[in-house]
Structure 1
Amino acid sequence: MAVDYDARRADAAGGSDQALPEFLPGSTAQRREVDIDESDSVEPFELPGADLSGEQLSVSIIPMQEDEFTCAVCFLVQHRSRLARSGLSGPICKDCFA
């Protein structure tokens, strides 16, 4: 027997086909607006029990090596062994090509 999967189906519980009133077109249901206070999301994150006020973090930046490339999709620097293909758009790594 062929089944038309696009056809509208009756509710399995035998209930009505009525949608929730909030989702009907022209609904007069109350809509709530969310008040977002942007100052709440700017607070610094502090680890409990960690005092990093006297710490100075330093990062050494190493220039891209001759055997590395920058993927044109994810923009990560990869080793040449991770090169999947190179075309008009640029080199693409194996992760982005798959």
Structure 2
Amino acid sequence: MADYDELRPDVRESQEDSLEAVKSASAPDPRSVVRDLDGDEEGDGVPGGELVDAELTVRLVPQGEDEFVCQSCFLVRHRSQIARVDGDAAFCADCEA
């Protein structure tokens, strides 16, 4: 009868090999890591850390006649999503659920 919980021999060998590789790998000296990070003042070594001298332009769209700002989540919602009005404050259905 076959033991289906037992690992296949090829899987067991690959797990043992990878465990040996982890054990034999040399970990970096913590002080060298700190020195490397301290030496990187401009963020050149950080992926995506490039500084761009570009101006960000954002087009603002005024609130529409059929929109409101929920006073709980501060998201702009369509008036059909008003669940409760308390004085001048309107609350959306998601926040009131």
> TM class, shorter-chain normalised?
0.3 to 0.5
Q: Greater share of helix residues, 1 or 2?
A: 2
Q: TM-score, normalised by structure 2?
A: 0.45
